[in-house]
Amino acid sequence: MDGALDGRHSALIRSLLLAVAAEDGAPEVSADRPLPPDFRGGEHLLAMAADEPVGYAHLDTGGDAFGRQVVEAFVRPDARGRGIGTELVRAVLERATPGVRLWSHGDHPAAAAIAARFGLTKVREMLKMRLDLTTADLPAPRWREGVRVRTFVPGQDEAALVEVNRRAFDWHPEQGALSVADVEATEKEPWFDPAGFFLAVDADDRVLGFHWTKVHPGGEGEVYVVGVDPAAQGGGLGKALTLAGLAHLVDLGLSEVILYVESDNAPAVTVYRGLGFERAQAHVQYSTLDTHGD
């Protein structure tokens, strides 16, 4: 299936993803809302058995910020171990362009076995880190001279945010592609809260960096994105922004917060470990090419 899904196929995919999420904790999908943006457009492959979906793969043909196609593949928990994942990957590789990247959430051993079968190479590792806010001893943020913090103003700050984000994440496969339209779409999501979206600005109100927090439906907080303009880096601005967002999540009464960070982003990992975050899980990408610079 290509492009937009009809109501029946959307319902089939949603039911499978909900079953997977109940078992694995991901992906983030709602029973009563449209499929997440990651599963819209592109190509959709469904594996069916007795009119029930047992496997699903999504091929993002638009690709990441560098034009590389990306695959998400899932097998319903009660249908695992039957070779369905192998056949889904085989089918999607026949359709994908060279350099396609395939996610393995949780770095699952079964995914590693499938990757080996097809000669795929692990090219990326993204860490999920966790902090217990009930025991964390977090200092107050310290702002360098000439910097103040304020919250995001919808309808005013989108373009400035996107420009800082573009410079801060020009190396990142997903975050670097953020657009004004993406921000405006996220503002319509039920979890969006500008009170938890912090901007560091200079005396002229120019955005230097930001910390976008998120609260999940189950009450788990997230350091959603922290970005600092490269021209403003140094002096602990990223750490101060992180602490400002964490203080907000503490004030909300949350007990736990998570974040995602590239494992090879040593400066960021060092900051987060220094604040008490610990590795909880890893998500990896496999590719048909064997270098990070594909």
Identity at 214, one-letter amino acid code: K
- Residue 123 among known ligand-binding residues: no
Distance CA 222, CA 277 (A): 12
Q: How far apart are CA 173 and CA 152, in angstroms?
A: 24
- In b/e form, how buried is each residue of 96-121, taking b as 16+ CB within 10 angstroms? beebbbbbbbeeeeebeebbeeeebe
Flag whether 227 is marked binding. Answer: yes
Is 128 part of any known ligand binding site?
Answer: no
Concatenating the DSSP letter of every residue in 216-251 gives: -TTS-EEEEEEEE-GGG-STTHHHHHHHHHHHHHHH
Confirm whether residue 106 is marked as ligand binding: no
228 is in an annotated binding site: yes
Residue 233 annotated as lining a ligand binding site: yes
238 is in an annotated binding site: yes
Distance separating alpha carbons of residues 169 and 152, to the nearest angstrom: 19
**74 annotated ligand binder:** yes
Are 262 and 279 within 8 A, CB to CB?
A: no
18 is in an annotated binding site: no
Q: Known binding site: residues?
A: 73-75, 174, 214, 222, 226-228, 233-239, 260
Residue ranges for the binding site for acetyl-CoA? 73-75, 226-228, 233-239
